[in-house]
Structure 1
Amino acid sequence: MNIGPILLVSSALLLPAAGWATTLRLSPDIDLLVLDGKKVSSFLLKGADSIELDNGPHQLVFRVEKNVRANLREQRLYISPPLVVSFNTREIGQVNFNLPRLENEKESEAFDSAPHLQLLDGSSAVIPINLDVLALKPTSQGIDYENDTQRYNKAGKIASVPQFATMMADDSALLSSSSELDPPVRPSETLTGQRLKYWFTQADKTTRENFLQWVKEHPSQ
Protein backbone atom coordinates (compact mmCIF):
# COMPACT_ATOMS: atom_id res chain seq x y z
CA MET A 1 0.00 0.00 0.00
CA ASN A 2 1.35 3.41 -0.96
CA ILE A 3 1.31 5.75 2.04
CA GLY A 4 3.09 8.57 0.27
CA PRO A 5 6.43 10.26 0.90
CA ILE A 6 8.02 10.06 4.33
CA LEU A 7 10.34 12.74 5.66
CA LEU A 8 13.06 11.58 8.05
CA VAL A 9 13.61 14.02 10.90
CA SER A 10 15.01 14.00 14.41
CA SER A 11 15.81 16.72 16.92
CA ALA A 12 19.27 16.95 15.36
CA LEU A 13 17.79 16.71 11.83
CA LEU A 14 19.50 13.33 11.49
CA LEU A 15 17.71 10.17 12.62
CA PRO A 16 19.93 7.79 14.63
CA ALA A 17 21.11 4.78 12.66
CA ALA A 18 19.53 2.37 15.12
CA GLY A 19 16.72 2.43 17.64
CA TRP A 20 12.96 2.63 17.82
CA ALA A 21 11.37 5.01 15.32
CA THR A 22 7.92 6.59 15.37
CA THR A 23 5.96 7.74 12.34
CA LEU A 24 4.16 11.05 12.82
CA ARG A 25 1.35 11.16 10.28
CA LEU A 26 0.88 14.68 8.98
CA SER A 27 -2.60 16.12 8.54
CA PRO A 28 -3.62 18.56 5.78
CA ASP A 29 -5.32 20.65 8.49
CA ILE A 30 -2.10 20.98 10.54
CA ASP A 31 0.55 23.61 9.81
CA LEU A 32 3.63 22.37 11.67
CA LEU A 33 5.82 25.28 12.82
CA VAL A 34 8.35 23.93 15.33
CA LEU A 35 9.52 20.39 16.07
CA ASP A 36 11.47 19.70 19.27
CA GLY A 37 12.54 23.33 19.62
CA LYS A 38 13.62 23.73 15.98
CA LYS A 39 11.79 25.68 13.29
CA VAL A 40 10.32 23.39 10.63
CA SER A 41 10.99 24.25 7.00
CA SER A 42 7.86 24.21 4.86
CA PHE A 43 10.14 23.34 1.92
CA LEU A 44 11.28 20.15 3.66
CA LEU A 45 7.71 19.18 4.53
CA LYS A 46 6.31 19.89 1.07
CA GLY A 47 4.71 16.72 -0.28
CA ALA A 48 5.53 14.64 2.81
CA ASP A 49 2.78 12.55 4.38
CA SER A 50 4.81 11.52 7.42
CA ILE A 51 7.78 12.40 9.58
CA GLU A 52 9.97 9.75 11.18
CA LEU A 53 10.82 10.67 14.79
CA ASP A 54 13.22 9.01 17.16
CA ASN A 55 12.00 7.34 20.34
CA GLY A 56 11.40 9.58 23.36
CA PRO A 57 9.88 12.94 24.30
CA HIS A 58 8.74 15.29 21.56
CA GLN A 59 7.11 18.68 21.25
CA LEU A 60 5.16 20.13 18.35
CA VAL A 61 4.12 23.72 17.76
CA PHE A 62 1.45 24.03 15.09
CA ARG A 63 -1.67 25.80 13.91
CA VAL A 64 -4.91 24.28 12.74
CA GLU A 65 -5.81 25.68 9.33
CA LYS A 66 -9.11 24.64 7.80
CA ASN A 67 -11.90 26.02 5.65
CA VAL A 68 -15.09 26.47 7.68
CA ARG A 69 -18.55 27.67 6.73
CA ALA A 70 -19.06 31.36 7.35
CA ASN A 71 -22.69 31.06 6.20
CA LEU A 72 -24.75 28.92 3.87
CA ARG A 73 -22.94 30.24 0.78
CA GLU A 74 -19.47 31.18 1.90
CA GLN A 75 -16.44 29.60 3.47
CA ARG A 76 -13.46 31.20 5.16
CA LEU A 77 -10.04 29.94 6.18
CA TYR A 78 -9.91 29.37 9.92
CA ILE A 79 -6.46 29.64 11.50
CA SER A 80 -6.11 28.71 15.15
CA PRO A 81 -3.67 30.30 17.58
CA PRO A 82 -0.33 28.45 17.71
CA LEU A 83 -0.66 25.38 19.92
CA VAL A 84 2.00 23.45 21.81
CA VAL A 85 1.66 19.73 22.40
CA SER A 86 4.21 17.55 24.19
CA PHE A 87 4.16 13.75 24.34
CA ASN A 88 6.40 10.70 24.53
CA THR A 89 6.82 8.15 21.75
CA ARG A 90 8.31 5.42 23.92
CA GLU A 91 7.30 2.11 22.31
CA ILE A 92 4.84 3.91 20.02
CA GLY A 93 5.15 3.15 16.32
CA GLN A 94 2.72 5.72 14.92
CA VAL A 95 1.18 9.04 15.96
CA ASN A 96 -1.97 10.43 14.33
CA PHE A 97 -3.73 13.76 14.85
CA ASN A 98 -7.39 13.52 15.86
CA LEU A 99 -9.00 16.96 15.66
CA PRO A 100 -12.47 17.80 16.94
CA ARG A 101 -15.17 18.73 14.46
CA LEU A 102 -14.41 22.14 12.93
CA GLU A 103 -16.93 22.87 10.21
CA ASN A 104 -18.42 26.28 11.01
CA GLU A 105 -17.86 29.58 12.80
CA LYS A 106 -19.41 28.40 16.05
CA GLU A 107 -17.18 25.34 16.27
CA SER A 108 -14.03 27.29 15.38
CA GLU A 109 -14.82 29.93 18.01
CA ALA A 110 -15.34 27.19 20.60
CA PHE A 111 -11.96 25.71 19.64
CA ASP A 112 -10.32 29.13 20.07
CA SER A 113 -11.82 29.42 23.54
CA ALA A 114 -10.82 25.92 24.63
CA PRO A 115 -8.43 24.16 22.22
CA HIS A 116 -8.52 20.39 22.45
CA LEU A 117 -7.41 17.46 20.32
CA GLN A 118 -6.07 13.94 20.63
CA LEU A 119 -3.02 12.09 19.43
CA LEU A 120 -3.70 8.45 18.65
CA ASP A 121 -1.31 5.55 18.11
CA GLY A 122 -1.56 3.04 15.29
CA SER A 123 -4.26 1.12 17.17
CA SER A 124 -6.31 4.30 17.76
CA ALA A 125 -5.41 4.32 21.44
CA VAL A 126 -5.10 7.76 23.00
CA ILE A 127 -1.54 8.96 23.63
CA PRO A 128 -1.12 11.07 26.79
CA ILE A 129 -0.34 14.67 25.88
CA ASN A 130 0.08 18.12 27.38
CA LEU A 131 -1.57 20.86 25.33
CA ASP A 132 -1.27 24.63 25.61
CA VAL A 133 -1.42 27.84 23.60
CA LEU A 134 1.92 29.40 22.65
CA ALA A 135 2.17 33.06 23.62
CA LEU A 136 3.81 35.09 20.85
CA LYS A 137 6.12 38.05 21.19
CA PRO A 138 6.26 39.76 17.77
CA THR A 139 9.34 41.81 16.96
CA SER A 140 10.13 44.35 14.26
CA GLN A 141 11.22 41.38 12.11
CA GLY A 142 7.90 39.60 12.67
CA ILE A 143 7.09 36.42 14.60
CA ASP A 144 9.90 34.02 15.51
CA TYR A 145 8.20 30.78 16.52
CA GLU A 146 11.49 29.12 17.43
CA ASN A 147 12.45 31.84 19.91
CA ASP A 148 8.93 31.96 21.33
CA THR A 149 9.03 28.18 21.81
CA GLN A 150 12.38 28.42 23.57
CA ARG A 151 10.97 31.11 25.85
CA TYR A 152 7.93 28.90 26.54
CA ASN A 153 10.07 25.88 27.42
CA LYS A 154 12.22 27.88 29.79
CA ALA A 155 9.10 29.16 31.58
CA GLY A 156 8.07 25.70 32.77
CA LYS A 157 4.54 25.81 31.33
CA ILE A 158 2.15 22.86 31.09
CA ALA A 159 3.50 21.60 27.75
CA SER A 160 7.11 22.71 28.27
CA VAL A 161 9.95 20.31 27.54
CA PRO A 162 12.96 21.93 29.26
CA GLN A 163 15.52 19.74 27.50
CA PHE A 164 14.66 21.35 24.16
CA ALA A 165 15.25 24.82 25.56
CA THR A 166 18.53 23.64 27.06
CA MET A 167 19.46 21.98 23.78
CA MET A 168 18.96 25.22 21.90
CA ALA A 169 20.95 27.24 24.39
CA ASP A 170 23.81 24.75 24.42
CA ASP A 171 23.68 24.45 20.64
CA SER A 172 23.95 28.20 20.14
CA ALA A 173 26.80 28.53 22.63
CA LEU A 174 28.61 25.56 21.13
CA LEU A 175 28.38 26.81 17.58
CA SER A 176 29.36 30.37 18.44
CA SER A 177 32.78 29.05 19.47
CA SER A 178 35.35 29.28 16.70
CA SER A 179 36.94 26.02 17.87
CA GLU A 180 33.86 24.01 16.79
CA LEU A 181 33.95 24.97 13.13
CA ASP A 182 36.71 24.73 10.56
CA PRO A 183 37.19 27.10 8.81
CA PRO A 184 36.14 29.90 11.18
CA VAL A 185 32.63 31.24 10.75
CA ARG A 186 32.34 34.39 8.69
CA PRO A 187 30.33 37.21 10.30
CA SER A 188 27.67 36.95 7.59
CA GLU A 189 27.00 33.27 8.25
CA THR A 190 23.73 32.52 10.03
CA LEU A 191 23.28 30.31 13.06
CA THR A 192 21.22 27.94 10.93
CA GLY A 193 24.19 27.46 8.63
CA GLN A 194 26.46 26.88 11.58
CA ARG A 195 24.11 24.24 12.99
CA LEU A 196 23.87 22.50 9.65
CA LYS A 197 27.66 22.32 9.30
CA TYR A 198 28.11 21.11 12.85
CA TRP A 199 25.57 18.30 12.62
CA PHE A 200 26.93 17.29 9.21
CA THR A 201 30.37 16.78 10.75
CA GLN A 202 28.80 14.64 13.51
CA ALA A 203 27.02 12.29 11.07
CA ASP A 204 28.46 9.00 9.88
CA LYS A 205 29.64 8.51 6.29
CA THR A 206 26.42 6.86 5.08
CA THR A 207 24.24 9.60 6.56
CA ARG A 208 26.43 12.28 4.95
CA GLU A 209 26.21 10.59 1.55
CA ASN A 210 22.41 10.27 1.85
CA PHE A 211 22.12 13.92 2.82
CA LEU A 212 24.31 15.08 -0.07
CA GLN A 213 22.21 13.00 -2.45
CA TRP A 214 19.07 14.64 -1.06
CA VAL A 215 20.62 18.10 -1.59
CA LYS A 216 21.50 17.16 -5.17
CA GLU A 217 17.91 16.05 -5.84
CA HIS A 218 16.42 19.14 -4.17
CA PRO A 219 18.44 22.14 -5.37
CA SER A 220 17.57 25.54 -3.94
CA GLN A 221 14.94 27.31 -5.98
Structure 2
Amino acid sequence: MKKLVAAALLVLPFSLQAATLSTGPNIELLVIDGKKVDSSFWSQTESVDLAPGKHQVVVRFDGELKSGSKSKMYTTRPYLFELNVPDENATIVLPLLTSLTQAKSHFERGPEWQLELESGAMRTLEYVELQGKGFAAFSNMEKLVADYNRQHGITFEQGYAVDLEKATVEVSEQGEVTISGDALAQLKLWYSKADAEEKAAFYQWAKAQDAQ
Protein backbone atom coordinates (compact mmCIF):
# COMPACT_ATOMS: atom_id res chain seq x y z
CA MET A 1 0.00 0.00 0.00
CA LYS A 2 1.25 3.42 -0.89
CA LYS A 3 2.24 5.49 2.11
CA LEU A 4 1.63 9.20 2.63
CA VAL A 5 4.11 11.70 3.96
CA ALA A 6 3.09 12.92 7.41
CA ALA A 7 0.89 15.99 7.40
CA ALA A 8 3.60 17.96 9.16
CA LEU A 9 5.81 17.72 6.07
CA LEU A 10 3.77 20.19 4.10
CA VAL A 11 1.67 23.15 5.24
CA LEU A 12 -1.49 23.24 3.14
CA PRO A 13 -3.78 26.27 2.93
CA PHE A 14 -7.05 25.26 4.58
CA SER A 15 -9.07 26.92 1.84
CA LEU A 16 -7.74 24.55 -0.80
CA GLN A 17 -8.49 20.87 -1.08
CA ALA A 18 -5.39 18.72 -1.40
CA ALA A 19 -4.87 16.29 -4.26
CA THR A 20 -2.65 13.23 -4.14
CA LEU A 21 0.55 13.29 -6.17
CA SER A 22 1.91 9.78 -6.74
CA THR A 23 4.85 8.22 -8.60
CA GLY A 24 4.92 5.41 -11.12
CA PRO A 25 7.00 2.21 -10.88
CA ASN A 26 10.62 2.68 -9.76
CA ILE A 27 10.24 6.45 -9.38
CA GLU A 28 11.44 7.68 -5.99
CA LEU A 29 10.22 10.90 -4.34
CA LEU A 30 13.21 12.76 -2.89
CA VAL A 31 12.43 16.39 -2.03
CA ILE A 32 9.23 18.43 -2.13
CA ASP A 33 9.24 22.21 -1.74
CA GLY A 34 12.75 22.10 -0.30
CA LYS A 35 12.01 19.41 2.30
CA LYS A 36 13.33 15.86 2.20
CA VAL A 37 10.70 13.16 1.81
CA ASP A 38 11.08 10.65 4.62
CA SER A 39 11.57 7.16 3.23
CA SER A 40 13.55 4.06 4.05
CA PHE A 41 14.85 1.08 2.08
CA TRP A 42 11.93 -0.99 3.36
CA SER A 43 9.23 1.68 3.18
CA GLN A 44 9.39 4.05 0.23
CA THR A 45 7.04 7.04 0.18
CA GLU A 46 5.18 6.88 -3.11
CA SER A 47 2.56 9.62 -2.72
CA VAL A 48 1.95 12.93 -0.97
CA ASP A 49 -0.98 15.28 -0.53
CA LEU A 50 -0.40 18.73 -2.06
CA ALA A 51 -2.62 21.78 -2.38
CA PRO A 52 -3.24 22.77 -6.02
CA GLY A 53 -0.66 25.28 -7.26
CA LYS A 54 3.03 25.49 -8.05
CA HIS A 55 5.29 23.09 -6.19
CA GLN A 56 8.88 21.98 -6.58
CA VAL A 57 9.23 18.20 -6.81
CA VAL A 58 12.48 16.22 -7.07
CA VAL A 59 12.48 12.55 -8.07
CA ARG A 60 14.78 9.93 -9.57
CA PHE A 61 14.47 6.57 -11.24
CA ASP A 62 15.71 3.81 -8.96
CA GLY A 63 14.87 0.23 -9.88
CA GLU A 64 16.02 -3.30 -10.56
CA LEU A 65 16.18 -4.07 -14.29
CA LYS A 66 17.07 -7.04 -16.45
CA SER A 67 20.66 -7.24 -17.65
CA GLY A 68 21.10 -10.41 -19.67
CA SER A 69 20.27 -13.39 -17.46
CA LYS A 70 20.68 -11.31 -14.29
CA SER A 71 19.14 -8.22 -12.73
CA LYS A 72 20.95 -5.02 -11.74
CA MET A 73 19.99 -1.86 -9.89
CA TYR A 74 19.92 1.32 -11.94
CA THR A 75 19.74 4.74 -10.31
CA THR A 76 19.67 8.08 -12.14
CA ARG A 77 20.60 11.57 -11.06
CA PRO A 78 17.79 13.57 -9.42
CA TYR A 79 15.33 15.38 -11.68
CA LEU A 80 13.67 18.62 -10.54
CA PHE A 81 10.25 19.82 -11.70
CA GLU A 82 8.54 23.16 -11.16
CA LEU A 83 5.19 21.45 -11.12
CA ASN A 84 1.74 23.03 -11.35
CA VAL A 85 -0.24 20.54 -9.30
CA PRO A 86 -3.87 20.31 -10.50
CA ASP A 87 -6.90 19.98 -8.25
CA GLU A 88 -7.17 16.27 -9.05
CA ASN A 89 -5.02 13.25 -8.27
CA ALA A 90 -2.02 12.84 -10.54
CA THR A 91 0.96 10.53 -11.07
CA ILE A 92 4.49 11.23 -12.32
CA VAL A 93 5.28 8.53 -14.89
CA LEU A 94 7.87 7.35 -17.38
CA PRO A 95 7.57 4.98 -20.33
CA LEU A 96 7.80 1.34 -19.26
CA LEU A 97 11.48 0.46 -18.76
CA THR A 98 12.25 -3.23 -18.30
CA SER A 99 15.92 -3.71 -19.23
CA LEU A 100 19.11 -1.95 -18.15
CA THR A 101 20.09 -1.23 -21.77
CA GLN A 102 16.68 0.26 -22.50
CA ALA A 103 16.78 2.48 -19.40
CA LYS A 104 20.30 3.77 -20.05
CA SER A 105 19.40 4.61 -23.65
CA HIS A 106 16.22 6.39 -22.55
CA PHE A 107 17.93 8.63 -20.00
CA GLU A 108 20.94 9.34 -22.22
CA ARG A 109 18.74 10.79 -24.96
CA GLY A 110 16.54 12.68 -22.49
CA PRO A 111 13.82 11.08 -20.37
CA GLU A 112 10.14 11.58 -21.17
CA TRP A 113 8.71 12.59 -17.80
CA GLN A 114 4.93 13.02 -17.81
CA LEU A 115 2.12 13.84 -15.40
CA GLU A 116 -0.84 11.46 -15.73
CA LEU A 117 -4.03 13.02 -14.40
CA GLU A 118 -6.85 11.07 -12.80
CA SER A 119 -9.07 12.19 -15.68
CA GLY A 120 -6.76 10.38 -18.12
CA ALA A 121 -5.08 13.47 -19.56
CA MET A 122 -1.28 13.52 -19.91
CA ARG A 123 1.05 16.50 -19.46
CA THR A 124 4.68 16.57 -20.56
CA LEU A 125 6.93 17.78 -17.72
CA GLU A 126 9.88 20.09 -18.18
CA TYR A 127 12.75 19.21 -15.89
CA VAL A 128 16.23 20.07 -14.68
CA GLU A 129 18.72 17.24 -14.18
CA LEU A 130 20.58 18.15 -10.99
CA GLN A 131 24.35 17.90 -11.16
CA GLY A 132 26.29 17.06 -8.02
CA LYS A 133 29.98 17.43 -7.28
CA GLY A 134 32.27 14.86 -5.70
CA PHE A 135 31.89 11.24 -4.62
CA ALA A 136 29.02 11.88 -2.20
CA ALA A 137 27.30 14.47 -4.36
CA PHE A 138 23.82 13.05 -3.83
CA SER A 139 24.12 11.95 -0.20
CA ASN A 140 22.32 15.09 1.03
CA MET A 141 19.48 15.77 -1.38
CA GLU A 142 18.01 18.57 0.72
CA LYS A 143 21.28 20.52 0.60
CA LEU A 144 21.70 19.84 -3.12
CA VAL A 145 18.26 21.28 -3.83
CA ALA A 146 18.84 24.22 -1.45
CA ASP A 147 22.03 25.11 -3.34
CA TYR A 148 20.17 24.95 -6.65
CA ASN A 149 17.36 27.15 -5.32
CA ARG A 150 19.80 29.72 -3.95
CA GLN A 151 21.62 29.92 -7.28
CA HIS A 152 18.37 30.38 -9.20
CA GLY A 153 16.48 32.68 -6.85
CA ILE A 154 13.78 30.19 -5.89
CA THR A 155 12.09 30.37 -2.51
CA PHE A 156 8.90 29.13 -0.86
CA GLU A 157 6.07 31.32 0.38
CA GLN A 158 2.95 29.96 2.11
CA GLY A 159 3.82 26.45 1.00
CA TYR A 160 4.32 27.28 -2.68
CA ALA A 161 7.42 27.52 -4.86
CA VAL A 162 8.15 31.06 -6.08
CA ASP A 163 10.69 31.77 -8.83
CA LEU A 164 11.89 35.22 -7.81
CA GLU A 165 14.05 35.62 -10.91
CA LYS A 166 10.98 35.32 -13.13
CA ALA A 167 9.08 37.67 -10.82
CA THR A 168 11.73 40.41 -10.89
CA VAL A 169 13.53 40.04 -14.25
CA GLU A 170 11.96 40.36 -17.68
CA VAL A 171 13.72 39.46 -20.94
CA SER A 172 12.28 40.81 -24.19
CA GLU A 173 12.28 38.96 -27.52
CA GLN A 174 15.29 41.10 -28.46
CA GLY A 175 17.18 39.86 -25.41
CA GLU A 176 16.89 43.10 -23.45
CA VAL A 177 16.86 42.58 -19.68
CA THR A 178 14.59 44.75 -17.54
CA ILE A 179 14.37 44.72 -13.74
CA SER A 180 10.72 44.51 -12.71
CA GLY A 181 8.80 43.80 -9.54
CA ASP A 182 8.65 45.93 -6.43
CA ALA A 183 11.50 46.56 -3.99
CA LEU A 184 10.36 43.75 -1.67
CA ALA A 185 10.46 41.17 -4.47
CA GLN A 186 13.95 42.31 -5.45
CA LEU A 187 15.14 42.11 -1.83
CA LYS A 188 13.76 38.57 -1.58
CA LEU A 189 15.59 37.58 -4.78
CA TRP A 190 19.00 38.73 -3.60
CA TYR A 191 18.45 37.37 -0.09
CA SER A 192 17.59 33.94 -1.51
CA LYS A 193 20.91 33.93 -3.40
CA ALA A 194 23.03 34.88 -0.37
CA ASP A 195 25.05 32.39 1.66
CA ALA A 196 25.05 32.29 5.48
CA GLU A 197 27.93 34.78 5.82
CA GLU A 198 26.32 37.26 3.43
CA LYS A 199 22.97 36.97 5.23
CA ALA A 200 24.66 37.69 8.57
CA ALA A 201 26.33 40.77 7.09
CA PHE A 202 22.98 41.91 5.74
CA TYR A 203 21.38 41.54 9.18
CA GLN A 204 24.05 43.80 10.66
CA TRP A 205 23.63 46.35 7.88
CA ALA A 206 19.81 46.34 8.26
CA LYS A 207 20.11 46.88 12.04
CA ALA A 208 22.45 49.81 11.45
CA GLN A 209 20.02 51.36 8.97
CA ASP A 210 17.09 51.02 11.41
CA ALA A 211 19.15 52.67 14.15
CA GLN A 212 19.78 55.80 12.12
Q: With structure 1 as the length reference, what TM-score do the two structures score?
A: 0.60
Q: 2:67 aligns with which of 70, 81, 105?
A: 70
The higher radius of gyration belongs to: 2
Aligned equivalent of 2:92: 97
User: 1:29 deviation in Å?
Assistant: 0.9
1:36 has 2:13 as partner: no
Q: Which amino acid aligns with 2:100?
A: E
2:36 & 2:20 partners in 1: Cα distance? 19
Q: 2-side partners of 1:67 and 1:143: how far apart?
A: 20
More off after superposition, 137-146 vs 77-86: 137-146
Q: SS where residue 42 of structure 1 aligns?
A: coil
Contact 2:113 2:125 in 1 (8 A): no
Q: Which residue in the other structure is 1:132 paired with?
A: 128
Runs of 4+ in 1 over 6 A off after TM superposition: 139-142, 165-168
- 1:20 alignment counterpart: 17
Relative to structure 1, the CA distance from residue 123 to residue 141 in structure 2 (aligned partners, 3 Å threshold; closer, same or farther) is closer
For residue 139 of structure 1, report the CA deviation from its aligned partner: 7.7
Unaligned runs of 5+ in 1: 178-221
Query: Superposition pairs for residues 37-186 of structure 1, below 5 Å?
Result: 37-42=34-39, 46=43, 49-71=46-68, 73-90=69-86, 92-113=87-108, 114-138=110-134, 143-156=139-152, 161-163=154-156, 164=161
Gaps of 5+ in 2: 163-187, 201-212
**Counterpart residue type for residue 10 of structure 2:** L
CA shift digits 1:63-121 (9 cap, x unpaired) = 111221110x111111111111221124x311112211211132111123122221111
Q: Give the structure-2-normalised TM-score.
A: 0.63
In structure 1, the residue matched to 2:207 is: none
Query: What's the offset of the Cα at 1:124?
Result: 2.0
* Cα RMSD for the two superposed structures: 3.6
The number of residues matched between the two structures is 165
Give me the whole-angstrom Cα distance separating, in 2, the residues matched to 1:54 and 1:147.
24
The offset of 1:149, in angstroms, is 1.0
Higher strand proportion (structure 1 or 2) = 2
CA contact (8 A) 1:93 1:121 kept: yes
2:19–2:52 Cα contact (<8 Å) kept: yes
CA distance in 2, matches of 1:57, 1:106: 35
Identity across the alignment (%): 25
1:64 & 1:23 partners in 2: Cα distance? 20
| Distance change in 2, residues 1:142/1:169 (3 Å) | same
Residues 135/74 of structure 1: CA separation in 2 closer, same or farther (3 Å cut): same
Contact 2:2 2:46 in 1 (8 A): yes
1:137–1:4: structure 2 CA closer, same or farther, 3 Å change rule? closer
